[in-house]
Amino acid sequence: MMALEHDSPAAGHWSRRQYEDLFIATSGDRRSERVAWVAEEEPRASEVLAFLVAHRIDTEWELENIVVAGTVRRQGVGARLLSEFIAHARAERGSGIFLEVRESNQSARAFYRKAGFEETGLRKSYYSNPPEDAIVCGLRLS
């Protein structure tokens, strides 16, 4: 996951520890949980093509990171992963999903609009390396 994220300049960049923490069991409180899903190449299932990380807080979900390998971008892998996540959030009776995206990342913004997200706000100076504002997007599930 880290190698894939490293090769994607627009992705949220996390530390090794943050990725390792995804796999540590928590208290079991289902009102706050983090999920990580991956799309792997078949039949080897050893190469990660895309991943998605999200965090649930009560009934609302935050899409924290979604990364797709450059070799499979615009082939539906990311859209399928996002669609599966949205279906999961609905099945878990989620009320909505929100995310932040770099203001300059027009392709990601179009990707989220196509999935039904609406741009709802702006977070000034949200990103660093390079510094940039974030567009807040939301999708109502109920």
Q: Which positions are annotated as active-site residues?
A: 100, 112
H helices of 2-128, in order, are: 2-6, 16-21, 77-91, 106-114
Q: What SS3 state is found at 18?
A: helix
Cα–Cα distances in angstroms (integers) from residue 25 to residues 62, 111, 134, in the given order: 19, 32, 31
Please give the Cα distance from 8 to 67 (Å, whole number): 7
